[in-house]
Structure 1
Amino acid sequence: MCQLLGMNCNVPTDICFSFEGFSSRGGKTDEHRDGWGIAFFEGVGCRIFLDEKPSVLSPIAELVRQYPIKSTHVIAHIRKATFGVVALENCHPFQRELWGRYWVFAHNGDLPDFDPENTPFYHPVGQTDSERAFCLILNTLRQSFPAGKPPLSQLYPILQAVTRTIANSGSFNYLLSDGEHFFAHCSTKLCYVVRQAPFAAAHLIDADITVDFQELTTPRDRVAIITTVPLTDNEAWTTLQPGELLVFQDGLPLASDVLGDG
C-alpha cells in the first residue's frame, strides 16, 4: 500500500528532515515506487509537486529534499499502485477548490468496488479509488454548506459521517487540509509525534541522519508530524485508533469538545 506524511505547525517550518526519510521509502528502503507527491500551503496559495517516478529517482524529489520550503500545512504521499495505472493523474495529493480555498487530500488503503454515483460537481480525473473518495467528500461538504465554510463544530460531524461511509468500503487512512485545518483519519495505520519545547535530537529510521531541533527552533515553536509508519526511532509516536478522525491546528490535535464530538 501507499504511505502518508503530513506536517502541521504553529509557525512556517520546512519538512526537509522528515521528507528525507519518507522519500527513501519510495524505492530504497521500501517498495512504494509508483509515483509520489507533496503539497505545501503558503498563505492562501498551495505549491504542489508530483512525479510518476519513484521518489528516490525523481529530480523533483531531490529539489524538495534540498529546498527548505516553509509551510504550516504539508501533505505528502508515496504510491504503490492498486487502482489506476502508474501515471501523473493518479499521483497524490489531489487538489480542488471549495469555498474559495484549496483543499488537498492523500489516501492510503484500498476501497474495493467503491464507485459513488452522486458526483454533481467534483469529478475524478484519474482512475484511483482515492480521487473518487476525495470528490465524494467535497461534494458532500459543498451540498451540506452551500453558503460557505461553516464553523469547525458544524463541519466536523459531516466530514466524520462521510468518512465512515467511505471506510465501510475498505481501508481509508487519509490526510486532508484546506490550509486552515488539518484532518487525519485512521482506518488501519496512522501515527503522529508533536515536537515542542524542550526540543531534542531525532534520528531517522530510513537514513542515518540526526537533527537536534533545539538548535533550529525557538521555545514557542510546535510541529506535529503525521505519518503511516514512524520516521524516527528515538521519539514517542502516538498511534491513532481505527475510526479516529483528528483535527490538528497549530501543531496540536484539537480536543473533542471543540469539534462538537464531546
Structure 2
Amino acid sequence: MCQLLGMNCNVPTDICFSFTGFRRRGGDTDVHSDGWGIAFFEGKGVRMFLDPEPSAESIVSEFVRSYPIHSLNVIAHIRKSTLGVTSLENTHPFMRELWGRYWIFAHNGHLPDFKPELDGNFIPVGNTDSELIFCWLLQSLQQRFGASLPPRDELFEALRELTLPLAGTGIFNYLLSNGDCLVAHCSTELNYIVRCAPFAEAHLKDEDVTIDFSQVTTPDDRVALIATQPLTDNEAWVAMRPGTMWLFHQGEVVGVGDTAPSPVSSLGG
C-alpha cells in the first residue's frame, strides 16, 4: 500500500528533514515506486509537486528535499498502485476548490466497491478510487453545508459521519486539509508525533541523518507530524488506533472521533 506524510504547525515550518527520510521509501527502503507528490499551503495558495517517477530517484523530490518551503499544513504521498495506471493524473495528493479554499487529499488503501453518483461539481481526472472518494467527500460537504464553510468542529464531525460507512468496506487511511486544519483517518496504520519544547535530537530511520531541533526552533514552536510508519527511530511516536479520526490544528490534536466500534475485551469483568 501507499505511504502518507502530513504536517500541521502553529508557525510556518519546513519539512525538509522528514521528507529526506520519507522520499527514500519510494523505491529504496520500501517498494512504493508508482509516483509521489507533496502539497504545501502558503497563505491562500498551494504549492504542489507531482511526479510519476519513484521518489527515491526523482530529481523533483531531490529539489523538494533541499528547498525549505515553510507551511502550516503539508500533505505528501508515495504511491503503490492498486487501481489506476502509473501516471501524472493518478498521482496523489489531489487538489480541488470548495468555498474559496483549496483542499488537498491523499489516500492509502483500496475501496474497489465504492461507486458513488457524482453531481458534476467535482469530477475525477484520473481513474483511481482515491480521487473518486475525494470528489464524493467534497460533494457531500457542499450538499450538507451549502455555500458556507462550517466551523472547524462541525466540519470534523461531518467528515467523521461520511467516513463511517466506508471505514469497514476496505482500507481507508487518508489525510485531508483545507489549509486551516488537517484531518487524519486511521483505517489500518497511521502514527503521529507532536514536537514541542523542550526540543531534542531526532534521527531518521530511512537515512543516517540527525537534527537537533533545539537549534532550529523557538520555545513556542509546535509541530505535529503524521506518517504511515514512524520516520525516526529515537522518538516516541503514537500509534493511532484503527477506526479513529484525528483533527490537528496549530500543531496539536484538537479532536478525536471513532469510525469503528471500540475493541471489546475478551477477559470478561
TM-score, normalised by the number of residues in structure 1:
0.96
| Structure 2 Cα separation of the partners of residues 119 and 234 of structure 1 | 48
Equivalent position of 1:237 in the other structure? 237
| Structure 2 Cα separation of the partners of residues 95 and 169 of structure 1 | 24
Percent sequence identity over aligned pairs: 61
Equivalent position of 1:260 in the other structure? none
Mean Cα displacement is larger for which, 149-158 or 89-98? Answer: 149-158
Equivalent position of 1:165 in the other structure? 165
| Structure 1 Cα separation of the partners of residues 173 and 180 of structure 2 | 20
| Structure 2 Cα separation of the partners of residues 6 and 107 of structure 1 | 12
Contact (CA 8 Å) 1:183, 1:247: kept in 2 or not? yes
Contact (CA 8 Å) 1:201, 1:210: kept in 2 or not? yes
| Structure 1 Cα separation of the partners of residues 179 and 32 of structure 2 | 27
RMSD, aligned CA:
1.1
Letter paired with 1:6: G
| Structure 1 Cα separation of the partners of residues 82 and 130 of structure 2 | 10
| Structure 2 Cα separation of the partners of residues 155 and 21 of structure 1 | 32
- Note the C-alpha offset of 1:256: 5.1
Letter paired with 1:87: S
Q: In the TM superposition, what are the counterparts of 1:36-185 in structure 2 within 5 Å?
A: 36-185=36-185
Contact (CA 8 Å) 1:36, 1:77: kept in 2 or not? yes
Contact (CA 8 Å) 2:248, 2:255: kept in 1 or not? no
- Note the C-alpha offset of 1:176: 0.3
| Structure 1 Cα separation of the partners of residues 184 and 171 of structure 2 | 14
| Structure 1 Cα separation of the partners of residues 226 and 256 of structure 2 | 18
Mark the CA change 1:255 to 1:214 in structure 2 (over 3 Å): closer, same or farther.
same
Mean Cα displacement is larger for which, 167-176 or 182-191? Answer: 167-176
| Structure 2 Cα separation of the partners of residues 22 and 214 of structure 1 | 22
Secondary structure in structure 2 of the residue aligned to 1:109: strand
Contact (CA 8 Å) 1:133, 1:166: kept in 2 or not? no
Mark the CA change 1:106 to 1:256 in structure 2 (over 3 Å): closer, same or farther.
closer
Q: For residues 54-101 of structure 1, give each alpha carbon's deviation from its aligned partner in whole angstroms, at most 9, with x where no partner exists.
A: 001111101100100000100000000100000000000000000000
Structure 1 residues without counterparts, runs of 5 or longer: 258-262
Letter paired with 1:94: F
Letter paired with 1:152: R
| Structure 2 Cα separation of the partners of residues 87 and 171 of structure 1 | 22
Q: In the TM superposition, what are the counterparts of 1:163-242 in structure 2 within 5 Å?
A: 163-242=163-242
Mean Cα displacement is larger for which, 74-83 or 162-171? Answer: 162-171
- Note the C-alpha offset of 1:120: 3.8
Structure 2 residues without counterparts, runs of 5 or longer: 258-269
Contact (CA 8 Å) 1:119, 1:136: kept in 2 or not? no
Equivalent position of 1:26 in the other structure? 26
| Structure 1 Cα separation of the partners of residues 69 and 60 of structure 2 | 13
- Note the C-alpha offset of 1:46: 0.4
| Structure 2 Cα separation of the partners of residues 226 and 59 of structure 1 | 24
| Structure 1 Cα separation of the partners of residues 189 and 119 of structure 2 | 28
Contact (CA 8 Å) 2:247, 2:256: kept in 1 or not? no
Secondary structure in structure 2 of the residue aligned to 1:254: strand
Number of positions where the alignment pairs a residue of Structure 1 with one of Structure 2: 257
| Structure 2 Cα separation of the partners of residues 220 and 40 of structure 1 | 22
Mean Cα displacement is larger for which, 4-13 or 166-175? Answer: 166-175
Mark the CA change 1:123 to 1:255 in structure 2 (over 3 Å): closer, same or farther.
closer
Equivalent position of 1:17 in the other structure? 17
TM-score, normalised by the number of residues in structure 2:
0.93
Secondary structure in structure 2 of the residue aligned to 1:208: coil
